[in-house]
Amino acid sequence: MVFFERHGVEEKESFEHFTLVNENFPLHFHRAYELIIVNEGELLATVDKKKYSLHKNDLVFIFNNQIHEFQTIKHSNITIVIFSPELIGHFFANAKGTIPENNQIHLEDVPDLHGLDSIYRQKSFLYDICGALVDQTSLTPVAYSSKTQVFHKILLYVDKYYCEDCTLKSVAKDLQYDYAYLSKLFVQMANISFTEYLTQYRISQACYLLKNRQKTIGEIAMSCGYNNLRSFNRNFKKVTAYSPREYRGIS
């Protein structure tokens, strides 16, 4: 996944952060913990089907394996923090197998994350967030249903193969499930079809690449699973209302 290339688990104590402007990203999940912090504007975040309207200095604390997505409302400048559970090992041990009743926290001040230049400062910042979370909400045990577990597997498949010929038929074959069952399940869990989701996922990846990589539009289209540039341009404009070239020029 371009946004979360390392998923916070390549190292036992991994801490990564990056800024995104006016970005959207569809449903996904990973083993790492994640913070989404709003610096400016407004963001709608959905975590396990709970919706949070976020403004300046608001954040959502997403536990590992919670399915989530985010969408910009008019304008947003956000910071994503991805970190391994081991970085806050004491909290992780106590919170394992639970999720927050309320993932949203408001910060009075957001520290300069670039100033967190040592593992001790990173841990201090993260444990402060953990403290704020448990002060305001309870952690409840979670047991994912068999349907949710299958949905997880579909999302992981898309994450791995979106740049190839990724279809629900190939998912069904790989997971050894009936195609019709997976089609119905996906719509039930995501509220959109698999094809619509795959398009959104690919275009979201392309948006990031257009702003953060010096690749040609054709190269980006290929790396996001499009062999036909015309199809890429059409789907890109359908999702973002801009052509890829126009989108790249927006500051």
**Hey, where are the domains in the chain?**
15-141, 146-249
pLDDT value of residue 251? 61
Q: How far is CA 96 from CA 66, 136, 140, in A?
A: 12, 18, 10
Residue 38 CB: number of other CB atoms within 10 A? Answer: 24
The predicted model scores a pTM of: 0.87
In sequence order, what are the residues at sequence separation of 6 or more whose Cβ sits closer than 8 angstroms to the Cβ of residue 227? none
Positive or negative CA dihedral for 190, 242, 56, 123?
A: positive
pLDDT tens, per residue, the chain with 251 residues = 455 544 444 557 889 999 999 999 999 988 899 999 999 999 999 999 999 999 999 999 999 889 999 999 999 999 999 999 999 999 999 999 999 999 999 999 888 999 999 999 999 999 999 999 999 999 999 888 999 999 999 999 999 999 999 999 999 999 999 999 999 999 999 999 999 999 999 999 999 899 888 899 999 999 999 999 999 999 999 999 999 999 988 76
- CATH number at 15-141: 2.60.120.810
CA–CA dist 80, 94 (Å, integer): 24
pLDDT value of residue 1? 47
Q: Which residue has the tokens 């890829």?
A: 244
CATH architecture of 146-249: Orthogonal Bundle (1.10)
In sequence order, what are the residues at sequence separation of 6 or more whose Cβ sits closer than 8 angstroms to the Cβ of residue 216? none
CA–CA dist 68, 191 (Å, integer): 13
Indicate the length of the chain as a whole number. 251
Q: List the Cα angle 108/27/59 in 5-degree steps.
A: 0
pLDDT value of residue 65? 86
Residue 21 identity = V
Q: At 228, is the secondary structure helix, strand, or coil?
A: coil
Among 157, 115, 116, 143, CA closest to 28: 157
pLDDT value of residue 143? 84
Mean pLDDT, rounded, of the chain: 92
